[in-house]
Amino acid sequence: MDFGFGELETAEFDVELEDLEVKRVKKFERLWKIGQGGSISYTKIHEGVSYFGAADRNFYAVDIETGKELWRSLDNEETGYCPPTMITHNGVKQLLIWHPTALNSLNPKTGEVYWSVPLKPGYNMSVTVPRQQGDNLYVSGIGDEAAWIKLDGKSTPEIIWKGKTREALFCCNSTPFIVGDTIYGSDIQSGDFVAVNLKDGKRLWASKEVTQAGRRDRHATAFVVKHNDRFFLFTEKGDLVLADLSPEGYKEISRFHVLEPTNEAFGRPVVWSHPAFANQSLFARNDKELVRVSLKK
């Protein structure tokens, strides 16, 4: 399956394989370690600092060279699963932390909380990355929790609208993607791939064609990556789809089965693993193998 390979747009994808220096080593040396009450959440590394949440309910900033703690903040009952996210608005750099009770904006240098907006997904599953579009953020999760928020620098933002059942887009496993006034993504309630008008929070269309989900397949998932004016969609069945997405509808251009879904969720086989893109290739994995697919012309 060959595609022309242009600039990719994803939520968090910063490093190409050719940028990594590979060396043959006989022994790895641990430079430092940090333990804060158990497991550590996804880590965001930015300008020499690692940001993460820990099982002791705090979020930390740590110098990646020395392991020195720079600050800790947001003592909460749980840290959730959402990766820390860096945004800039009105010239103010902000570290976004979405834990199971609120979306928070922090000063990345000090851990000071700029603002906090209550957003409580079901089962404490704050997972998907908030998506910024100019002055706005889209946040969504399980349990009818979706909101379109207007930013105001360091001040508390305004909620423009909150999603209504069977109208908005409620994502969990995969982060949605915004183009213009439309957001596209996998809706966990219906299992549909959905397009929503960000002006009013209402659906423009919904389709089961992307994931080929059954009528009752909740949480049917496709991971979304923009490629020039088209989209790569990697589905939970292990298919790579090239598609056009627009406010008018979904148009499939081609589909290729990359690998088998080897895990299980809700009684069906799934592969819930976001692919990576580098060296004009797609890299995808299940629980048994890692597969590389050429995307060259």
What structural domains and CATH numbers belong to the chain?
8-18+37-294 (2.130.10.10)
Q: Which pLDDT belongs to residue 144?
A: 85
Mean pLDDT of 44-53: 94
Q: Which pLDDT belongs to residue 37?
A: 65
What are the pLDDT digits (tens) for 187-215?
Answer: 998 899 999 999 999 999 999 999 998 87
Please tell me the distance from the alpha carbon of residue 210 to that of residue 250, in angstroms, as a whole number.
Answer: 8
Look at 11-15, 60-64, 263-267 and tell me which has the smallest mean pLDDT: 11-15
Question: b/e string for 275-287 if b means 16 or more Cβ within 10 A?
Answer: bbbbeebbebbbe
DSSP state letter for 215:
T
pLDDT band at 116 (very low <50, low <70, confident <90, very high): very high
Query: Looking at the predicted structure, is the pLDDT value of residue 117 above 80?
Result: yes
Q: Which pLDDT belongs to residue 143?
A: 82
Q: Which two tokens stand for residue 55?
A: 């099982």
C-beta separation of 164 from 123 below 8 A: no
Task: Identify the bridge partners of residue 138 per DSSP, sorted by sequence position.
Answer: 131, 148
Q: Which two tokens stand for residue 150?
A: 């207007």
CA dihedral sign of residues 254, 258, 262, 265: negative
Query: CA dist 287 to 45, 165, 175, 235, 269, Å?
Result: 26, 34, 22, 15, 12
Q: Which pLDDT belongs to residue 28?
A: 75
What are the pLDDT digits (tens) for 284-295?
Answer: 999 999 999 998
Query: Looking at the predicted structure, is the pLDDT value of residue 7 above 50?
Result: no
Q: Which two tokens stand for residue 145?
A: 């929790």
Using alpha carbons, select from 146, 149, 142 the residue that is nearest to residue 167.
Answer: 146
- Looking at the chain, the whole-number percentage of residues with pLDDT higher than 90 is 71
Query: CA dist 223 to 58, 140, 236, Å?
Result: 29, 15, 8
Q: Which two tokens stand for residue 184?
A: 């596209």
What are the pLDDT digits (tens) for 150-168?
Answer: 999 999 999 999 999 889 9
